[in-house]
Structure formats: C-alpha cells, structure tokens
Amino acid sequence: MNGERLQHVIEEVISRLQRRAQSSATLSVGQLREANLRLLLCQYSTLRILQVDLPLLEQIARRDSSDNTAAIIHEALAWGACIQLSVQHQLLSALPVKTLARLPLAFCDERGQPVILHPARLLSYADVARLRGETLVLSRRCVVTALARDAASSRHIQLITQE
C-alpha cells in the first residue's frame, strides 16, 4: 500500500470516528432488545433509551444478566458507549440510587430534563452550586443542609428523596 492510499484510509477512519462520536440513537426498550448491538455501536456513540421501567432498572443495578436488555446495556457500557435512560418522573423516588449511581449512566425524565442521582449521605451547598434546573434524587437517609435546600430552591432544582 502506497503512502497516498494509506493517508486516504487514515482520513476516512478519522472521519467515521468523528461522525460516530457526534451521533446518538434514540430507542425504546423493545427496539434495543431487538437491535444488533455491534452494528448500533459502530454507528452511534450515545444510546438514549426511552421509558425504562423499574424492574429493568433494578436488573441493571444488580448486573443481572438473565434479562436480555440489562445484559445489552452492560455490554454497551463495556464497549464505551454513553447510555442515557429516560425514566418517568413519578418513578424517580423508587430508583435504587446507590447502586445505579455507581454505573456510568445518565438519566433524564420523560420531558428530557436531566436527573442526577446523589448517593451520598449529605447534600451540601457545594453539591448544589454547580447545578441549575435539574432533578436531584437523594438516597433515603441523605441529610440536606439548610444552605443546600435554599440554593436548590433558588436554582429551581427539584429534590426527590428515595422511598
């Protein structure tokens, strides 16, 4: 292979990788279950999965490979894909915060508003100061300082405590 041909191949690979890095796919849970994951991850760097239910979230948190969809999500994470899960707002208080927060997942509600899981036992002003307008799901025993509560209110951050 001559130098000019090699340069062309390298430029094509770089171009495809740059397109992949900027692309995302939005899928339902059923579509993800039926998709060819390798082909999907060759084209998209981010997968947005809509309307994830609580049983699936619990299987993802437990790393339960008996469910095909949970196994697919873990395999996509192992490949380095960014995974964003859409969860209905009324289900946020039932999320297994501590176990899900350990995984490199992003969450949003059904309107696309960011949801952040806070597994720590204390929510301080420093945790809230960098946020604006998100929903923050706190672990069951999380203590919220008065300054953090005031900052959350003034920044329109909704605090939801795990059930």
Give per-residue pLDDT as tens, 131-151. Answer: 988 999 999 999 999 999 999
Instruction: Report d(CA 37, CA 129) in Å as an integer.
Output: 38
pLDDT > 90: percent of the chain: 75
DSSP-assigned letters across all residues of 25-91: EEEEHHHHHHS-HHHHHHH-SEEEEES--HHHHHHHHTT-TTSHHHHHHHHHHHTT-EEEEEE-GGG
Q: Are 70 and 148 in the same domain?
A: no
Q: Are 48 and 95 in the same domain?
A: no
Q: Could you report the per-residue pLDDT of 62-102, keeping only the tens digit for each? A: 988 788 899 999 999 999 999 999 999 999 999 999 999 99
Q: Are 79 and 1 in the same domain?
A: yes
pLDDT the model gives residue 111: 92
Q: Specify the number of domains making up the chain.
A: 2
Q: Are 101 and 78 in the same domain?
A: no
Q: Could you report the per-residue pLDDT of 111-129, keeping only the tens digit for each? A: 999 999 999 999 999 999 9
> Domain range for residue 150?
88-162
Q: Are 59 and 15 in the same domain?
A: yes
Token pair, residue 2, equals: 């001559």
User: What's the half-sphere exposure (Cβ side, CA atoms, 13 Å) at 35?
Assistant: 24
Q: Are 113 and 40 in the same domain?
A: no
pLDDT the model gives residue 82: 95
pLDDT the model gives residue 110: 93
